[in-house]
Amino acid sequence: MNILHTECSMNWGGQEFRTALEAVYLNQHGHKSWLLCHSNSQLYKKGKVLGANVIAMDLTRSWRVDIAIRILFFCLKNRVNVINTHGSNDSTLCLISYFFSIPLVRSRQITNPIKKILAYKYGCTHIIAAAHIIKKNLVSAGINKDKITVVGEGVDVNEFNPAVDSAYLRTEFALADSDDVVVNIGMIREDKGQVYFLEAARIILAQKKSIKFFIIGEGTDNKNLEKQLHALIKQYGLEKNIFITGYREDIAAFTHLADLVVVASIGTEAQSRVVPQAFATHKTVVSTDTGGLTELVKNEYNGLVIPPKNAAAMAAAVLRILDDPQLKQKLENNALELAKHSLSFDTMMANTLKLYESF
């Protein structure tokens, strides 16, 4: 099949990463795929590094008729079978191609309120929802449930697995063998809840000093929150126990290094790529009950679930796991089993391709 992915976002996060990985996967498995995005976007730069077939177009404005026509000509020239759009602006720009009978699949990976209902009703062939909660929201907004397929997150089990090498990180950050490690991974944004993770760390460190906390990620457009977090760490005098690493490519190593992973999100979260990555690496998760997170994280089975915006509950859950080896092992073993049986990237893409081939 020939598949065109489009994404108007200028930033880099889980949605953009998943889009790039899908495009790369298709080209590696007998299909032809292109990734259309702005030349100055993070997706364009990082997509190239990942090996995606990246094409530059300005998708930042919805009603550029010239761009819409260029997309149509590209699709006709390359005999594109399916367009998979990932943002609002690029979905609008692909409407002309859709009206020329090229199937248009619209992906939705956020749990924000749905604003453009008509676009989902009449402006696409089908919708891929990254979590069941997203499908539920779409149906509640008036979209036919048969027009929506849920394709959750998947993880590359060759990259994320229990045998990943993370020893070099202990050297890099001067960690003692006795240090427990707790990590939070994601773009530094208010909805990711890093402020609450930091406050939970402060509560824990008042009781137990042999724990190191990592915030792995960076602010993108707005660096104010990142600066605020650095200032709080200094104010609390916890520079030796809490690290903000900035953007890192070696997420698998940090996940393996961790004794547990915390997903502190307070909004706009689907299933989160971090969860299957942790599970495949034989790690358990403390997760807020936000968005679609509990579709994968089952309380007391493969992780612990807490209310959002509750640092005290987060601290208690982290300490409970670290202080109870039997509980930790049970949660980790169940997490790994779920990853093995249901959460591989191959499974995710097989479900996606099955949908593409149905048009």
Domain span including residue 255: 167-342
Nearest CA-CA partner of 6 in 69, 119, 92: 92
pLDDT for 113 equals 84
Across 121-135, average pLDDT: 96
pLDDT for 221 equals 66
Do 224 and 111 reside in the same domain of the chain?
Answer: no
Residue 118 lies in a domain: yes
The pLDDT confidence band at residue 112, using thresholds 50, 70 and 90, is confident
Residue 160 lies in a domain: no
pLDDT in tens, 294-338: 999 999 999 999 999 999 999 999 999 999 999 999 999 999 999
pLDDT in tens, 281-305: 999 999 999 999 999 999 999 999 9
pLDDT for 30 equals 95
Do 78 and 189 reside in the same domain of the chain?
Answer: no
CATH of the domain at 256: 3.40.50.2000
- ∠ Cα 348 335 164 (to 5°): 80
Across 188-193, average pLDDT: 94
Do 243 and 274 reside in the same domain of the chain?
Answer: yes
Do 322 and 350 reside in the same domain of the chain?
Answer: no
Determine the number of helices (DSSP H) and then strands (DSSP E) in the chain. Answer: 15, 13
**Cα→Cα distances 356→1, 11, 84, 180, 259, Å:** 9, 27, 9, 45, 39
pLDDT in tens, 216-269: 999 876 789 999 999 999 999 999 999 999 999 999 999 999 999 999 999 888
pLDDT in tens, 57-67: 999 999 899 99
Strand runs labelled E in 227-356: 242-246, 260-263, 285-288, 303-306
Mean pLDDT for the chain?
95
Do 209 and 108 reside in the same domain of the chain?
Answer: no
Do 266 and 338 reside in the same domain of the chain?
Answer: yes
pLDDT for 337 equals 97
Do 338 and 208 reside in the same domain of the chain?
Answer: yes
Residue 337 lies in a domain: yes
Residue 69 lies in a domain: yes
Do 180 and 143 reside in the same domain of the chain?
Answer: no
